[in-house]
């Protein structure tokens, strides 16, 4: 006599653990300021968002809707902190300041007009061989990249499997994205990071980083995580 096949439903597949899903790192460039694209502000204090920059900050917060955020970190400079404020208000999370997210220290070039700097022979090194350049009495690009990578790694480890949003600046974000892609620092100037943009990197233990998004300024971000 043949036994009837069991019709009991199969047990549900086990849910993916947060650690296996990976840590999602969102790198947000601050919104526009009155001098964006015209001068190198560096670490100079007192530079605030323009009206357009504040609108960009609000847009970042709106795009995060539906995504469960675990932690917010920001460069301590005003333009980054002000960009983080709408997201902090929407998520109810406090923003922790981290010096590792600071803009590059441009040294004696701080506050200089980009049009003037572009006329200098050193500007070609900045654009095409940045690994060989140090800003006069400031930081080198190699030091800047090591600094931001050294800051992001423990932040991700502290929120393993979670979603971490970091508000920073164009060059450090470009350097972090280049590192995740395995792109040499001398090519990092090919990466564009616009004001108010979001770049996303996923970190899964035992695997190489996965760059999910670069310089995104429009679409909702909830799709970066499985529901």
Specify if 65 maps to a domain: yes
Task: Please identify which residue in the block is written with the tokens 């061989």.
Answer: 129
**β-bridge partners, 113:** 39
- Contact yes or no for 67/53 (Cβ under 8 A): no
Say if 17 falls within a structural domain.
no
Answer yes or no: is pLDDT of 10 > 50: no
Indicate if the pLDDT at residue 65 is higher than 90.
yes
> Does the pLDDT of residue 159 top 80, yes or no?
yes
Does 227 map to a domain? no
Q: Is the pTM of this model over 0.85?
A: yes
Please provide the DSSP assignment of 185-227 as one string. Answer: GGGGGGS---TT-EEEEEE-TTS--EEEEEEE-SS-SGGGS--
CB 85 within 8 A of CB 91: no
Reply yes or no on whether the pLDDT at 176 is more than 80.
yes
**Is the pLDDT reported for residue 175 higher than 60?**
yes
Cα–Cα distance for residue pair 223/227, rounded to 1 Å? 8
Identify whether 5 is part of a domain: no
Q: What percent of the chain has pLDDT over 70?
A: 91
User: How many independent structural domains does the chain possess?
Assistant: 1
CATH code, domain carrying 112: 3.40.50.1240
Tell me how far apart the alpha carbons of residues 142 and 52 are, in angstroms, rounded to a whole number: 32
Residue 11 has pLDDT above 80, yes or no: no
In this prediction, residues 20-32 reach a mean pLDDT of 93
pLDDT higher than 90, residue 68? yes
Range of the domain at 65: 24-218
């Amino acid at each position: 006599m043949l036994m009837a096949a069991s019709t009991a439903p199969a047990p549900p597949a086990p849910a993916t653990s947060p650690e296996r899903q990976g840590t999602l790192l969102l790198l947000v460039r601050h919104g526009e300021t009155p001098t964006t694209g015209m001068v190198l502000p560096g670490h100079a204090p007192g530079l605030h968002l323009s009206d357009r920059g504040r609108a960009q900050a609000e847009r970042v917060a709106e795009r995060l809707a539906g995504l469960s955020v675990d932690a917010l970190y920001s460069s301590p400079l005003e333009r980054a902190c002000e960009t983080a404020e709408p997201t902090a208000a929407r998520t109810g999370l406090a923003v922790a300041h981290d010096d590792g997210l600071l803009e590059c220290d441009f040294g004696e070039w701080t506050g200089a007009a980009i049009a003037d700097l572009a006329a200098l022979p050193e500007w070609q090194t900045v654009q095409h061989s940045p690994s060989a350049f140090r800003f006069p009495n400031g930081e080198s690009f190699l030091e800047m990249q090591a600094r931001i990578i050294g800051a992001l790694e423990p932040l991700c480890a502290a929120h393993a499997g979670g979603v971490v949003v970091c508000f920073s600046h164009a060059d450090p974000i470009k350097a972090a994205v280049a590192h995740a892609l395995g792109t040499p620092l001398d090519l990092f100037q090919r990466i564009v990071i616009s004001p108010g943009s979001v770049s996303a990197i996923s970190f899964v233990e035992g695997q190489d980083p996965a760059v999910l998004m670069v310089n995104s300024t429009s679409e909702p971000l909830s799709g970066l995580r499985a529901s």
